[in-house]
Amino acid sequence: MSAAPAEPVRHAEHVMGTVFSVTVRDPGPGTGPALERAMARLHEIDAVFSTYREDSDISRLDRGDTTVEDCHPDVAEVLARCRETAAQTDGWFTERPAGRLDPSGWVKGWAVEEVGRILRAGGSREHCVSGGGDVLTEGGPWRVGVAHPLVPGALAGVVTGTGLAVATSGTAERGAHVMDPFTGRPATAFSSVTLVGAPEVGLARTDAWATAVFAMGPERGPAWVERQPGVEALAVLPDGSRLRTGGLSRYLPPVGPADWTLPAAAR
């Protein structure tokens, strides 16, 4: 008689001003040590990149108290990825929202990726990691609920698939916090933007792109997404209507007449 499958291992960690949650469906001898390493890595990232800690490398760099060369090596890498994303999005993503050095738009998704990397190194091939509205899955299939930004406790949709990278930028938890980098004012034309990225896109890039698309607004954002390979979008507007890119149906079937797809001519 074969042994019964092990029960999934779950863990939640309060760090980086939010809660990171991990579910491992295929726990083994390496799971516990991998989780310990992953949580230590999250706290290390927080210590380096937190904009709320006066002694973090990012805060010291923003004040001019140090140089990139004297910071943790992760800082140079993250800032390089931020500049790359700024170029990809024509400046709609920036590591200096409101003029202050703050690469959180890249760091949050990257931190989730780091947890996934450590879990894979520990032997897992079936896990889900979430943090601050970003979700990364390995194996599957998995079902990922997208919180409705206008109806507390409700879902705007449920994304289903394997190897998912799902990132949401919106007003539900933090209000109008995404800034239009060209006007310096809060972006308010969307209530939320959720991007679903293929594995080759990665969660960090998907998350940064979600921030950029939110700032772009409905006139630019969905059309920009349609031009990017391996990523799809679901957006909720302030009136509750939904806007979705053409390929989203592979992850999320249409849910009703409030849905409309970007016209082909605009793609």
Domain residue ranges in the chain? 9-266
Q: What is the pLDDT of residue 98?
A: 84
Query: 186: which strand partners?
Result: 179
The CA dihedral of 36, 42, 45, 46, to the nearest 10 degrees, is -120
Looking at residue 86, its amino acid is A
Give pTM, 2 decimals: 0.91
Name the token pair of 24: 């491992």
User: 242-244 and 259-261 as β-strands: parallel, antiparallel, unpaired?
Assistant: parallel
**What is the predicted pLDDT for the residue at 6?**
81
Give the gyration radius of the chain's Cα atoms. Answer: 19
Question: Residue 201: is it exposed, middle or buried by C-beta count within 10 angstroms (0-12/13-18/19+)?
Answer: middle
Dist CA 157 CA 192 (whole Å) = 12
CA distance 202 to 150: 28
Rounded to an integer, what distance in angstroms lies between the CA atom of residue 241 and that of residue 235? 8
Q: Pairing between strand 155-161 and 18-24?
A: unpaired
**Residue 255 scores a pLDDT above 70:** no
Q: What is the pLDDT of residue 254?
A: 66
Whole-number average pLDDT of the chain: 91
128, 23 in Cβ contact below 8 A? yes
For the stretch 207-216, pLDDT in tens is 999 999 999 9
**Which of these ranges, 135-139, 222-226, 256-260, has the smallest mean pLDDT?**
256-260
Which band of pLDDT confidence, cut at 50, 70 and 90, is reported for residue 3? low
- Report the C-alpha dihedral over residues 237, 147, 106, 25, rounded to 10 degrees: -150
> Half-sphere exposure (CA, 13 Å, Cβ side) for 144?
33
Q: What is the pLDDT of residue 56?
A: 98
- Minimal CA–CA distance to 157: which of 211, 220, 232, 228? 232
The CA distance from 70 to 73, in Å, is 8
- pLDDT level of residue 263 (50, 70, 90 thresholds): very low
Q: In what order do the strands lie in the sheet with 127-131?
A: 9-15, 18-24, 127-131, 134-138, 165-170, 192-197, 231-236, 242-244, 259-261
Residues 37-56 have a mean pLDDT of 98
Buried b (16+ CB within 10 A) or exposed e, 214-246: bbbbbebbbbbbbebeebbbbbbbeeeebbbbb
Does the structural domain 9-266 have CATH classification 3.90.400.10? no
In this prediction, residues 96-101 reach a mean pLDDT of 91
